[in-house]
Amino acid sequence: MSAARKSGEAIKGRGAVSNHEGRFESLTREAVDDGWSDDGDLPPLRTQVMADTARRVIARNTSPDIPFDRSLNPYRGCEHGCVYCFARPSHAYLGLSPGLDFETQLFAKHDAAALLRAELAARSYRCQTLQLGANTDPYQPIERRLGITRAVLEVLAACDHPVSITTKSDLVLRDLDILAPMAAKGLAAVAVSVTTLDRSLARALEPRAPTPAKRLRAIAGLAAAGVPVTVLAAPMIPALNDMELDAIIAEAAAAGATAAGYILLRLPGEVADLFREWLETHYPDRAERVLNRVKASRDGALYRAEWGTRQTGTGIEAQLLAARFKAALKRAGLDQGRSGSRPLRCDLFKRPLPDTAQMSLF
């Protein structure tokens, strides 16, 4: 656990403003000012990367409102520091805080490519699109040094296995030499998340993620290389960035996106308190207004987890956002939205040979 810090004080380059224990901890700590210490003596919060020793890397889900049944996350935790990230509560399972620990105590699956190859080689494996970035960003800053996502893509390319990627980072352009040939075969697609076009808001919401301008350039670069690109206006936060929905879709379409989607702010588990603290720190004048409008779209609660509505909300607030999204798609010429994207091909899949010294007779 990182050094205790008082809540309510923004930390340069970090999204969360506290590091409260996760929900499974039996003891909690709270930083208080007793007049004997100087907060200026606290060391800077540095990112630490540890090894994740999972024995399998493909995660399965049966959620009816998610368009994929398998995913791979090269990293646990995410240095982008997006305060609203719905993956933050997963750090509690590791005995760490969903707050600052989530963005400073990271876990890397160094052998992800080898484990993936072994899973794809199993006779029981049946090919379907694999999603990268379902939980944390596969192109967060440490990927530039570790290259785990690239190694995973190399395995998928060698097997002609379809892959869909969701990211906030223009680092995805580094791997165009892999993605473009895959896309030409109908095996790759990318969704780029653009939360806001306001650089100041982005810096506070997503302190270590690439700027909005870089994400639009990533869309343009992918499109120019022939990789199908979806823009995700996500999350839409009432009274904070939801008024940008139309502009985000228009700018992304102009850059080359051919499909679009949006997600209403989700605040599961510890994220609700983290987001409230963040609002009170960065936007105290509108904190209650934002939270009240979130509740208006969640049946009076900060979050409701029911399938089918957890990503779009309910009530008049949610209906108005959905109507605006539909109108924005029409104006941008993306009327078919995400449903207009062609499904990726599974018929080209070639099972890799298992890592064994004995050769097959057939």
Every domain of the chain and the residues it spans: 48-332
**Torsion sign, CA atoms 118, 360, 157, 344:** negative
The answer to whether 230 touches 257, Cβ cutoff 8 Å, is yes
Contact 325, 248 (CB under 8 A): no
Beta bridge partners of 72: 132
The Cα 297–Cα 289 span in angstroms is 13
- What's the sign of the alpha-carbon dihedral 325, 337, 297, 302? negative
**pLDDT at residue number 1:** 41
* Number of CB atoms found within 10 A of residue 350's CB: 11
Report field, pTM of the whole predicted structure over 0.75: yes
pLDDT, residue 337, reads 47
Q: What's the pLDDT score for residue 27?
A: 55
At 354 the pLDDT is 66
pLDDT value of residue 303: 94
Is the domain 48-332 a CATH 3.80.30.30 member?
A: yes
Residues in the chain with pLDDT values less than 70: 1-8, 22-43, 336-341, 354-362
What's the rounded Cα separation, in Å, for the pair 266 and 97? 18
Q: What distance lies between CA 302 and its chain's CA centroid?
A: 20
Q: What is the largest CA-CA distance in the chain?
A: 76
Place of tokens 């080898």: 114
Distance, CA of 268 to CA of 317 (rounded, Å)? 19
**Sheet containing 105-108: order of strands:** 48-51, 105-108, 75-76
Nearest-angstrom CA–CA distance, 109 and 148 = 7
Task: Output the pLDDT for position 355.
Answer: 62
Distance (Å, rounded) from C-alpha 51 to C-alpha 269? 25
What's the pLDDT score for residue 341?
A: 61
Q: What is the pLDDT of residue 215?
A: 98
So what's the pLDDT on residue 5? Answer: 53
The contacts of residue 243 (CB under 8 Å, 6+ apart) are none
pLDDT for res 216: 98
